[in-house]
Amino acid sequence: MPFKPVLLWTDALVWLLAAAVIVFALYVRRHEHLSEPWRRVTHSASGMVGLVALSVFVAVGLLDSLHFRPRLAAQPAGARAAYAVDVLSVMDVLCEPLRKRTEKTYSAPFATGLYAKETVERADGSAVREHPRLKHGGAHLKDPQRDFAQDVARRGLAGAAGGAALWIALAALLGALLARRHGARIGDVWRRIWRGETEVPWHAVLLTLLALLLVAGPALTLGAKYHVLGTDKVGQDVFYQALKSVRTGLVIGTLTTLVMLPFAIALGIMAGYFGGVIDDVIQYVYTTLNSIPGVLLIAAAVLMMQVYIDTHPDLFTTSAERADFRLLALCAILGVTTWTGLCRLLRGETLKLKGLEYIQAAHAFGVRHARVLLRHVLPNVTHIVLISVVMEFSGLVLAEAVLSYVGVGVDPSMISFGTMINNARLEMAREPMVWWSLAAAFVFMFVLVLAANLFADAVRDAFDPRIRVRALTPGRLRRLAAQKA
C-alpha cells in the first residue's frame, strides 16, 4: 500500500460521534414528536446560517481526522515496506502546497519578499539592505512591482467566478429538488425562496453559501501562488495553520461534551430524584469543585498528565500519537471539571418533575425507580441537555485558546488557535510588528464561535418550552388562527 492507515484515539471518537449523530438523526426522523422541535430549528434563519457555516468547519475537521503514514519511496527491491514517521491527514494532502511551501521566516500576507530587511550582496559585489524575494510566495512573477496587482486581480476573479459557478449549480439543484418535491414550477419555487415564503429559510442558506464560496474560491486560487495570510517565524503558512486549528477546536468542543454528559446527567437526576443523603453528597461534590479556581485545577491535572507522558515515552511510536494523547487527556480533564453547571440545572428540573402527578402515579403503581428515571424523568430533561451541549461548545473552544495561551493546553507541536495566539504574543512585541498570525486565529475562531452560538440560540428557542410559551402572544395566536381559517 502507498500508505499505512493510522487511527488516533481522537479520530476514533470523532468518527464514532459522527456515526452516532447520523443514527440519532435517522431515529428522530421516524418519530414525529422528536422531529418537530428540530423542524422548528430549521425554520430559524439565523440558526440555518450558523448551521451552514458550522458544517463547513465540521467538514474540515472530518477531513483532518483521517490520518495515515506515507510509504517511503526509496526502498530496495524486495525489502519490507517502510513508512514515514510523520503522520499526515487527508487535509494535509489537500493543502500540500500550503504545507510544503515554507519560507525562511516572516512574510506579510500576499508579500513577495521577507518582512524584515536583510543585507543582500549583489552581482557587482556591493551590499544593500532590502527585502529578499520569497522562495515560493509570488516566485512566478518576473517583476513583482509591475505584475503583482494584475496577477492578484486575475487569480482572485477566477476564484470568485469558480465559487459563483459552483453556487449557481448548487442553487439550481436545490430549486429542482424543491420543485419536484412540491410539484410546482421552478420559477414559482424561486420566487417563494427569495421572498422568504418557504418554511425553511432557503434564501438565508443560499446567501450564506454564496458568501462562503466567494471567500473560499479566491483563497484557494491565490493560496496556490501566494501566502494569503502570511507566514510565521519558521516560514510556515498561517492559512494552513488556521485550517489545522479547526480540528483541534472541534475535538475540544465535542469530546469534552461526551465526557461531561454522563457525570452531569447521572448525578443531576439522582440528586433531584432521590434527595436526602444522595442529594447532599452530590451537592457537596460539585460545590467543592466550583470552589476551586478552574484554571488552577485544570493546570494541575494537565501538568500531572504531562509528567506521565514524559516518563512513558515507549507508549507512543510517533509524535502525533503523543500530542493526540495529551489532547484526549485535556478533553477528559475539561469534561470532569465542567459538568457541575449542567448537573445543577438537571437537579432543579428533576425536583420539579418529581412532584408532578404522573410521577406520583408511577410510584403508586409500584414502578421501579430505574424505570421511572428512564421513561419519565430523562425524556423530560432532554431539552435542557441539548441546549446546554450546543451552548457549551463555543465556551469550550474559547477555553482551549485560553489554556494553550497560558501553556497548559494542547501539546506545543499540535496546531491550535491557542498555540497560534501564544506564538503571536511575542510577535506583537517585535518591530516591525507581526500581526497576521493573531488576526488569522481571531477571525477563524470568531466565525466558528459565532456560527456555534447562532445555531445554539435556534436550538434553545426550539426546545425550551418557556420560550415557546412566551412566543405565543395573543397577537400571534390571532394571526395563526387567521392563517388556518
pLDDT(473) > 50: no
pLDDT, average across residues 294-307: 84
pLDDT in tens, 390-433: 878 888 888 888 888 777 888 888 898 888 888 887 777 777 78
Residues 6+ apart with CB under 8 A from 147: 141
Task: List Cα–Cα distances, 199 to 30, 41, 194, 454, in angstroms.
Answer: 20, 11, 12, 18
Predicted local confidence at residue 430, as pLDDT: 74
Cβ-contact 64, 247 below 8 angstroms: yes
pLDDT(469) > 50: no
pLDDT in tens, 10-39: 999 999 999 999 998 898 888 887 788 888
Predicted local confidence at residue 481, as pLDDT: 55
What angle is formed at CA 77 by the lines to CA 72 and CA 81, rounded to 5 degrees? 40
If pLDDT is split at 50, 70 and 90, which confidence band does 186 have? confident
If pLDDT is split at 50, 70 and 90, which confidence band does 478 have? low
CA dist 391 and 449 (Å) reads 10
CA atoms within 13 A on the CB side of 258: 18
Q: Which amino acid is at 402?
A: V
CA atoms within 13 A on the CB side of 92: 12
Task: List Cα–Cα distances, 58 to 54, 316, 463, in angstroms.
Answer: 6, 27, 23
CA dist 439 and 414 (Å) reads 19
Weakest-pLDDT range from 162-171, 288-297, 338-347: 288-297
pLDDT in tens, 88-97: 999 999 988 8
Q: What is the pTM of this model?
A: 0.86
If pLDDT is split at 50, 70 and 90, which confidence band does 75 have? low
**What phi and psi values does residue 234 have, to the nearest 5 degrees?**
-95, 10
pLDDT(472) > 50: no
Predicted local confidence at residue 210, as pLDDT: 95
Weakest-pLDDT range from 2-11, 369-378, 402-411: 402-411
**What phi and psi values does residue 69 have, to the nearest 5 degrees?**
-115, 120
pLDDT(471) > 60: no
Predicted local confidence at residue 51, as pLDDT: 93
If pLDDT is split at 50, 70 and 90, which confidence band does 470 have? very low
Higher pLDDT, 89 or 186: 89
C-alpha cell at 322: 503523543
pLDDT in tens, 318-366: 888 898 999 998 888 888 888 888 999 999 989 988 888 888 888 888 8
C-alpha cell at 469: 410559551
Cβ-contact 410, 397 below 8 angstroms: no
**HEC letters along 152-186:** HHHHHHHHHHHHHHHHHHHHHHHHHHHHHHHCCCH
Query: To the nearest whole number, what is the mean pLDDT of the chain?
Result: 86
Predicted local confidence at residue 443, as pLDDT: 93
